[in-house]
Amino acid sequence: MRADLRPELLDRLYGRDEPGWSEWVGELSAAERDELESLLDVYLRELDGRDADRLAGLGVALGIDERARREVADGDYWDRIHALVWLALLRDAPDRSLLETHCRGTPRERAAAARVLYAAEVPDLATTGIDLLLEAEPRSFSVFGIDTLYRVSESDPAPLFDRAAADFETWEPALQQQVLLVTRHLHTVVGGADLSWVIGALSAPEPRVRAAAWRALDAYGWNRGLRDDIGIDPAADEPVPSVRASAYRTLGAWGDAEAVTALRTAAASEPDDRARVALAEALFPHRGPNDRVSARRDADGPADPFDVAWRWTSEHARFDGVARDISRRQPEGARR
């Protein structure tokens, strides 16, 4: 059946002005319609743009859109997940009330419902998507959920920031860490956004939350008020090396004179090996003539520990430069 259905589907999709999906579906047996639905699933995952929009009409002719809405309203957990997948493939968002009423039970359902809105490009995506994902006692997400949170926030981070400003302290640490991770990667900066919740997270009980809070500030070195709230020596009182390492990476991302001076000051006293490497990596792109460290041993003992970290970083940078130069000189086919 698939061998017979595939060429007909492609001919109607690409070879005709009007595909005539409803007429064709009306001529098929129940078994053929089931097989055609499986083909549609495959092609909707591979196509985009105008082709996908045109092909979505076949889903309507097969009644998938209405069936999916019924399964969201009346089905069990797996029925809802399956229905939400179809609605996302069809780029067909149901009424917001249907999703809000039936798709808040688990993080997976929340993420799948928000993904439907994203796929359908609804006008109020950021607001509605954040409400679905983070309203009413949310829990931490899978990787798919984190990715969905990023996608619905990318064009307009304001609803995410507003929600975090109101509810961040009530969330479990895993969810706090995930929201901070998304914040770090958002490139659409809201100039007047309330980021007090990020600064507050720098003092959170969980080290992983504090570390994520530091990295969330990577893109905000320009914000003078925020930096004044943090302080000039942010890692001085931090007891956990991994959190200090995150702070050093953020200072390196800021990269201005004040941040580089703070890194040089920390280099003289950082006691942890891994944190010293992170510090050296953060400082290396901003190195000056006084940052050349040799790691020579003198007659009285070993080299300064930061000298060792600096040499390690220098060697990795040199190797990376050689590898990139070799890659550029290779023919395109050889690189593949």
The mean of the pLDDT values for the chain is 90
User: What percent of the chain has pLDDT above 90?
Assistant: 74
Predicted confidence (pLDDT) per residue in 136-159, tens digit: 899 999 999 999 999 999 989 999
Q: How far is 280 from 202, CA to CA, in rounded Å?
A: 22
Q: Is the pLDDT of residue 292 over 60?
A: no
Q: Which residue has 């720098």 as its token pair?
A: 202
User: What percent of the chain has pLDDT above 70?
Assistant: 91
Predicted confidence (pLDDT) per residue in 86-111, tens digit: 999 999 999 999 999 999 999 999 99
> Judging by beta carbons within 10 Å of its beta carbon (0-12, 13-18, 19+), is residue 314 exposed, middle or buried?
middle
Helix (H) or strand (E) holding 29: none
CB 91 within 8 A of CB 120: yes
What Cα–Cα distance (Å) separates residue 284 from each residue in 6, 287, 297?
A: 57, 5, 22
Cα torsion through 257, 259, 262, 264, rounded to 10: -60
What Cα–Cα distance (Å) separates residue 195 from each residue in 27, 52, 187, 286?
A: 59, 39, 15, 27
Q: Is the dihedral of CA 235, 237, 238, 240 positive or negative?
A: positive
So what's the pLDDT on residue 226? Answer: 84
Q: Which amino acid is at 144?
A: F
Q: How far is 84 from 96, CA to CA, in rounded Å?
A: 13
